[in-house]
Amino acid sequence: MKKFSSLLHNLILTPSRNTKIKLLQDYFKILDINRAYALAILSDQLSFQFIKASKLRELVYEQVDQHLFDYSYDYVGDLAETISLIWPTNKEGKSQNLSTLIENIKKIKKSEINIEFSKVLSELSNNERWTLIKICTGGLRIGVSERLVKTALADLYNKSVNEIEEIWHGLEFPYENLFQWLKNETSKPKIDFKKLFHPMMLANPIDEEKDFKRLDANEFQAEYKWDGIRVQLMVSSNSVSLYSRTGDNISSAFPEIIETTKGDAVIDGELLVGGNFKPSGFNDLQQRLNRKKASKDLQKKFPVFIRAYDILFYKEKDLRKLSLVERRKYLEKFQNENTTNQIDLSAIINFSTWGELTKYKNNFYDDLNEGVMIKLKNSEYLPGRKKGYWYKWKKNPKLVDAILMYAQRGHGKRSSYYSDFTFGVWKENELVPIGKAYSGYTDKELLVLDKFIRNNTTNKFGPVREVKKEIILEVAFDDVFPSTRHKSGVAMRFPRIHRIRWDKPINEVLSIKEFKKEFKID
Amino acid sequence: MDFINHQLFIKDINVHIDPILPKKTAIITHGHADHARFGHDHVIATRQTIEIMKIRYGDKCAKKFTSLRYGQKYSIKSFDFTLYPAGHILGSAQVLIEKNNHRLVITGDYKVGKDETCKNFKLVKCDTLITEATFGLPIFQHPDPKDEIQKLIRSVKINKNNCHIVGAYALGKAQRVMNLLRQQKYNETIYIHGSLEKLCQYYSKEKINIGKFEKVSSKDKSFYEGKIIIAPPSALKDRWSRRFPNPIICMASGWMTVKQRAKQQGIELPLIISDHSDWNELLDTIKKSKAKNILITHGQEDALVYYCKKQNLVSKPLSIQGRSDEEIE
């Protein structure tokens, strides 16, 4: 545990990619079972059923005064770090094996979690405790991607990282077959590719100035970019399953798709809510997300369908090395054979110049798509965000000027800065908040805002500071919906700070009435 | 205690403690720039604080100087002033003010832990305590500085082709790091940024063991492989640091407790070495001072105010202008 926690400590503090790779490789040179645990943790595949963030808070409140914890958490901005530092006992010395520690924690009964897990936390040093809590809460955020871990392993054993990538989703803890193959003791693990989640092909944002000059419009095709959730649908004669972009099996939440789809293929598409293949917006989709099951009622009220973009396998055929145009033929074939009404195909937009495409990007269907995708006609299906094949071209965001009202310290790399901003518009002579944003500004703007907030606080509510109503933020957002949960009656999708409007006086900001009218909210 | 206001100003006799702007009479707790400023008429401080001010701002940085020994009483009208060691840096002092049998202590910046570079903190009992709160959160529990300096020494041994640049405030922290290295038997020459030279010379003259040091000069890059260089934090990001071979950026500060802070500042080897009291030391000092009235100045005052109120102590934050949290030496 000591060794692994100092690995994480060093990884988080090392800016250099090469040093990170070297640190990982030094660790993976150990030959015992601990490296399998490390690999599982670094690729976010290990978690404890009963110990999540809320449980950890409960445990720390048993140890320290709640207010003192909250002040500290507000300051640090990272739950794992706050708990590890504030925990009253620190024991350096008897360090446990990473594998033993994890197996012991797994054995703890649910009814004894509070006592037993607290005991575990008390027997660790600060850094080990930080590591363990990071493991519990998942998502290490230490600046090491899964890809980097794979790269480190590949380089260490002279393999190509793509080879690891290909079999990755078919591997299971403790990865014996992987390590044996890496050391050339066995051949590459045999994986039944068709049953496996395949990392999706992703697009890079287009650089309008550079890319359109450089790229030949004739070599590309375009489709609308739909604002749902990206899914992979695996259909075979005996089973159908649906995976999210991150490879989570989400079949049980969408039974209507699972029950009705027939055929033999692996499909890449967008899951959308709406009847008769008319998407009704992200707000409706949200009613179906993050649910384990969907009642008949919900299925009726918020019907879902898949808009298919691509096909990876057709029957026994691996299509991934074919061109997009070739794959499209197979996709159409699959669609013709699949008689249900849960899947339709993403339409292909015909255009001959980039200028022509602009009108599709901005106007089509008004709000229901996010822009267009531009795909190289002869692109293979490649996992990850490879450059030069697929591009996304988003609509211009909606913009509104709003007044900065409250601020809070940020988390993670923005901790210590006042970087979470609540902004509002007028309602008669008062301001009413319409949203909260914690991105979009430049580093310089953040410093200016942070300083303004420290010097112009008029009131404090716990960690939240109310500030003088002087700063106007131009907020960009993807969409806005009516909401009963917010005082203003509106909820924004993905608001971010576009710029600071130094030039505009605060009385020129819209009223909530005008805001609703402008963005068509009843 | 009504005789002193939230700016640490005693109106009756026109005396300020650590004022930011030039004043008639200023009692200075220590030589850091957020406490000791240029241009007062009359400065009252320890001999070392006065000498440090003269090094930093020139001999004429005040019209008149009165130097006090620790424990020596100095009276202005009905007010009696006594300076006691604060254990923060060389020459640092707490100020005891006695008036009509009321004892008020301004701690200034202080630390309770042992430090060979200055006289160690002395606890002064009082009725009103004005304490600092730089590290006034329970997450701050400073480790043994010897273990921290060992981390540096180990890293130097392992990474023979790198040089280690340690960010440390020019006054106090830099010399403490040097002294801690000497305590741990690191006997090599320590290289310093030019801005540290005069203060290091002064510490040596005051018989503080900081060992052999030399100003960084334009030598061959490879010369500094395996060496320790000490520089003010501002120089770490400067072009200055690019002249060194594969530098590992270190920082000696209490803020290094929080990994996210270290990361934000691009610090690869954080050394938790602080010249301020940690949470437990703050609480302990409040308790042992027997003061019933606690005023809390710059830093993370919210948690400390909350704690004192829970102990039935009268407690308020005292916001002194010109000092915001996290910019304190």
Mean pLDDT of A70-97: 86
Pair B126, B52 in one domain: yes
pLDDT in tens, A154-175: 999 999 998 898 888 788 889 9
Q: What is the largest CA-CA distance in chain A?
A: 75
Is residue B299 situated within a structural domain?
A: yes
Least Cα distance to A264 among A234, A241, A231, A243 occurs for: A234
Q: Give the gap in angstroms from C-alpha B67 to the nearest C-alpha of chain A.
A: 36
pLDDT in tens, A4-16: 999 999 999 998 9
Checking if the pLDDT of A508 tops 50, the result is yes
CATH code for the domain in which residue B57 is found: 3.60.15.10
Checking if the pLDDT of A70 tops 80, the result is yes
Sort out which chain A residues have CB atoms less than 8 A from B151's CB and list them.
none
* Residue B306: per-residue pLDDT: 92
What is the average pLDDT score of chain A? 89
Mean pLDDT of A382-399: 88
Q: Predicted confidence band at B301 (pLDDT cuts at 50, 70, 90)? A: confident
Checking if the pLDDT of A283 tops 90, the result is no
* Residue A46: per-residue pLDDT: 87
* Residue B315: per-residue pLDDT: 85
Partner residue opposite A85 with nearest CB, options B139, B270, B300: B139
Is residue B160 situated within a structural domain?
A: yes
Q: Give the gap in angstroms from C-alpha B325 to the nearest C-alpha of chain A.
A: 10
Partner residue opposite B139 with nearest CB, options A13, A15, A72: A72
* Residue A196: per-residue pLDDT: 79
Q: Which residue has the higher pLDDT, A485 or A229?
A: A229
B268–A12 CB contact, under 8 Å: no
Residue A363 dihedral angles phi and psi, to the nearest 5° = -110, -25
Q: Predicted confidence band at A364 (pLDDT cuts at 50, 70, 90)? A: low
Pair B253, B293 in one domain: no
Least confident span in A76-90, A185-199, A362-376, B149-163: A362-376
B302–A71 CB contact, under 8 Å: yes
- What is the C-alpha to C-alpha distance for residues B31 and B51, in angstroms, rounded to an integer? 9
Q: Which residue has the higher pLDDT, B112 or A387?
A: B112
Pair B288, B242 in one domain: no
Q: How far apart are the first and last CA of chain B?
A: 28
Neighbour-count burial for A297-333, b at 16+ CB within 10 Å, e otherwise: eeeeebbbbbbbbbbbbbeeeebbebebeebbebbee
Sort out which chain B residues have CB atoms less than 8 A from A75's CB and list them.
137, 139, 300
Pair B66, B112 in one domain: yes
Token readout for A480 is 């806005």
Q: Give the gap in angstroms from C-alpha A420 to the nearest C-alpha of chain B.
A: 17
Crossing angle of helices A53-63 and A79-86, rounded to 10°: 20
Given the DSSP bridges, would you call strands A418-427 and A398-409 parallel, antiparallel or unpaired? antiparallel
Q: Predicted confidence band at A520 (pLDDT cuts at 50, 70, 90)? A: confident
| Residue B197 structural domain | 145-271
Residue written as token pair 């720039």: B33
* Residue B146: per-residue pLDDT: 97
Closest-CA residue of A relative to B269 is A13
* Residue B324: per-residue pLDDT: 46
Q: What percent of chain B has pLDDT over 90?
A: 83
Least Cα distance to A165 among A135, A194, A197, A143 occurs for: A197
* Residue B327: per-residue pLDDT: 42
Q: Predicted confidence band at A36 (pLDDT cuts at 50, 70, 90)? A: very high
Sort out which chain B residues have CB atoms less than 8 A from A86's CB and list them.
138-139
Identity of residue A188:
K
* Residue B83: per-residue pLDDT: 98
Checking if the pLDDT of B75 tops 90, the result is yes
CB B230 within 8 A of CB B177: yes
Q: Give the gap in angstroms from C-alpha B322 to the nearest C-alpha of chain A.
A: 10
* Residue B1: per-residue pLDDT: 60
Pair B241, B305 in one domain: no
Establish how many alpha carbons lie within 13 A of residue A360's alpha carbon, considering only the half-sphere containing its beta carbon. 22
Least confident span in A95-109, A504-518, B245-259, B308-322: B308-322
Sort out which chain B residues have CB atoms less than 8 A from A413's CB and list them.
260, 263-264
Is residue B329 situated within a structural domain?
A: no
Is residue B71 situated within a structural domain?
A: yes
B139–A64 CB contact, under 8 Å: no
What is the average pLDDT score of chain B? 93
Q: Predicted confidence band at A480 (pLDDT cuts at 50, 70, 90)? A: confident
- CATH of the domain spanning A204-394, picked from 3.30.470.30, 3.40.190.10, 3.30.1780.10, 3.40.50.300: 3.30.470.30
- What is the C-alpha to C-alpha distance for residues A188 and A186, in angstroms, rounded to an integer? 7
B303–A130 CB contact, under 8 Å: no
Sort out which chain B residues have CB atoms less than 8 A from A77's CB and list them.
260
B100: left (phi over 0), alpha (psi -120 to 50) or beta: left
A283 contacts: CB under 8 Å, gap ≥ 6: A479, A481, A491, A493
Q: Give the gap in angstroms from C-alpha A148 to the nearest C-alpha of chain B.
A: 19
Token readout for B307 is 């704690």
B259–A9 CB contact, under 8 Å: yes
Is residue B134 situated within a structural domain?
A: yes
Q: Please report the DSSP string for A250-307 in residue order.
A: -GGG-HHHHHH--SSEEEEEEEEE-STT----HHHHHTTTT-S---HHHHHHS-EEEE
* Residue B319: per-residue pLDDT: 65
Pair B152, B209 in one domain: yes
Mean pLDDT of B154-180: 96
CB A421 within 8 A of CB A406: yes
CATH code for the domain in which residue B224 is found: 3.40.50
Task: Burial-class residue A176 by CB neighbours within 10 Å (0-12, 13-18, 19+).
Answer: middle
Q: What percent of chain A has pLDDT over 90?
A: 57
pLDDT in tens, B258-271: 998 898 888 999 99
Mean pLDDT of B90-99: 98
Token readout for A382 is 């490649």
Q: Predicted confidence band at B207 (pLDDT cuts at 50, 70, 90)? A: very high
Q: Predicted confidence band at B7 (pLDDT cuts at 50, 70, 90)? A: confident
Checking if the pLDDT of B93 tops 90, the result is yes
The helix or strand, by DSSP H or E, that contains position A235, with its residue range, turns out to be strand A229-235
Mean pLDDT of B42-70: 97
Pair B152, B125 in one domain: no
Closest-CA residue of A relative to B268 is A13
Is residue B154 situated within a structural domain?
A: yes
- What is the C-alpha to C-alpha distance for residues A115 and A109, in angstroms, rounded to an integer? 10
* Residue B124: per-residue pLDDT: 98
pLDDT in tens, A292-347: 888 889 999 999 999 999 999 998 888 999 999 999 999 999 999 876 778 999 99
State how far Cα A310 lies from the chain centre: 22
Token readout for A519 is 């963005």
pLDDT in tens, B10-43: 999 999 999 999 999 999 999 999 999 999 999 9
* Residue A280: per-residue pLDDT: 84
Closest-CA residue of A relative to B304 is A68
Domain extents for chain A?
A: 204-394, 398-518
Pair B284, B257 in one domain: no
Given the DSSP bridges, would you call strands B163-167 and B228-231 parallel, antiparallel or unpaired? parallel
Partner residue opposite A413 with nearest CB, options B137, B264, B268: B264
- Chain A interface, Cβ < 8 Å to B: 9, 12-15, 64-65, 67-69, 71-72, 75-78, 81-82, 85-86, 90, 130, 412-413, 415-416, 454
A109 contacts: CB under 8 Å, gap ≥ 6: A116
For residue A493, list its beta bridge partners.
A479
- Kindly provide the residue ranges of all beta strands, DSSP E only, lying in B137-253, ordered along the sequence: 163-167, 190-192, 213-215, 228-231, 247-252
Mean pLDDT of B100-109: 96
The domain total for chain B is: 2
Task: Burial-class residue B238 by CB neighbours within 10 Å (0-12, 13-18, 19+).
Answer: exposed
Checking if the pLDDT of B227 tops 80, the result is yes
Is residue B34 situated within a structural domain?
A: yes
Task: Burial-class residue A359 by CB neighbours within 10 Å (0-12, 13-18, 19+).
Answer: exposed
- Round the CA-based radius of gyration of chain A to a whole number and report it: 26
Task: Provide the chain B residues 247-266 that lie in CB contact (below 8 A) with chain A.
Answer: 257-264, 266
Mean pLDDT of B276-286: 96
Closest-CA residue of A relative to B305 is A68
Establish how many alpha carbons lie within 13 A of residue B74's alpha carbon, considering only the half-sphere containing its beta carbon. 19
* Residue A366: per-residue pLDDT: 58
Hey, of A13, A419, A443, A452, which one would you mutate to test binding to chain B, going by the most B CBs within 10 A of its CB?
A13
B52 contacts: CB under 8 Å, gap ≥ 6: B31, B36, B90, B91, B171, B199, B202
CB B97 within 8 A of CB B106: yes
Query: Is any Cβ of chain A less than 8 angstroms from the Cβ of B303?
Result: yes
State how far Cα A486 lies from the chain centre: 25
Token readout for A338 is 């699949």
Sort out which chain A residues have CB atoms less than 8 A from B303's CB and list them.
67-68, 71-72
State how far Cα A347 lies from the chain centre: 26
- What is the C-alpha to C-alpha distance for residues B248 and B246, in angstroms, rounded to an integer? 7
Least confident span in B117-126, B168-177, B231-240: B231-240
- CATH of the domain spanning A398-518, picked from 3.90.45.10, 3.30.110.70, 1.10.230.10, 2.40.50.140: 2.40.50.140
Sort out which chain A residues have CB atoms less than 8 A from B267's CB and list them.
13
Checking if the pLDDT of B326 tops 50, the result is no
Mean pLDDT of B223-252: 90
Pair B170, B206 in one domain: yes
